[in-house]
Amino acid sequence: MRVCEIFTSIQGESSYAGHLCTFIRFSGCNLRCSYCDTPYAKAEAGMELSEAEILNEVSIVGVNLVSITGGEPLLQEEVPHLVERLLGDGHKVLVETNGSVSIKGLDPRALVVLDVKTPGSGMWEEMDLSNLSYLKDTDEVKFVLTGRADYEWAKEFIREHRLQERCQVLLSPAFGYLEPQSLAEWMLQDRLDVRLNLQLHKYIFGPERRQV
């Protein structure tokens, strides 16, 4: 498997924000979002690591929560089996995916954090909406918003697909595009029952630092 980096930090997003987490960031991405904050993951070839080597790295660290991320991790066909092995070893596993690749074959014990790309990302048309039918009540759907138009679009999408009844919904301001205060105020005005999702690692360590 092509791995960009493996590191341990504070989980900055999702309902597990604030927890210690080991990240396995895979190389390669099929999307080109306007606000991408990990361009190196799609540009760098990364390291070729076997499943055994990855599992050994995670075991040495000794942190229970593991995030499978990218890039887009599900572009590599070996990743679902790695997820299964990590779960079998007793880890809590988050699979962070951009929403353009099917999640159907993932072990149901994994928690999927599924992006739904908004028009502001420039990648909305690449979404595989069949993924919505595979969501579990333990999964999470994330919208990264570039402004008010994305917010209104996301509200309608959430309503149309009844996402609040099906899973946790996260709204995240795109860093450098939308101020968190603005998004929080809109949510308050609308009494929107979703979770504000800030990238805590950027506030703790700064937006330019890698492996955090």
Structure tokens at 185: 């105020």
Confidence of residue 146 (pLDDT cuts 50, 70, 90): very high
Q: Report the b/e string of 110-125 with b at 16+ CB within 10 A.
A: bbbbbbbbbebbebee
Q: pLDDT of 108-145, one tens digit each?
A: 999 999 999 999 999 999 999 999 999 999 999 999 99
Do residues 10 and 18 touch, judged by C-beta distance below 8 A? yes
Number of domains in the chain: 1
CA torsion 139-145-150-155 (nearest 10°) is 40
Query: How many helices (H) and strands (E) in the chain?
Result: 6, 9
Residue 128 maps to a domain = yes
The range of the structural domain enclosing residue 76 comes to 2-205
Distance separating alpha carbons of residues 3 and 5, to the nearest angstrom: 6
Residue 212 maps to a domain = no
Residue 94 maps to a domain = yes
The answer on pLDDT for 156 being more than 90 is yes
Model pLDDT, residue 147: 98
CATH number of the domain bearing residue 189: 3.20.20.70
Q: pLDDT of 65-81, one tens digit each?
A: 999 999 999 999 999 99
Distance separating alpha carbons of residues 121 and 36, to the nearest angstrom: 9
Q: Which helix (H) or strand (E) holds 195?
A: strand 195-196
Residue 147 maps to a domain = yes
Residue 45 maps to a domain = yes
Do residues 11 and 20 touch, judged by C-beta distance below 8 A? yes
Residue 100 maps to a domain = yes
Residue 211 maps to a domain = no
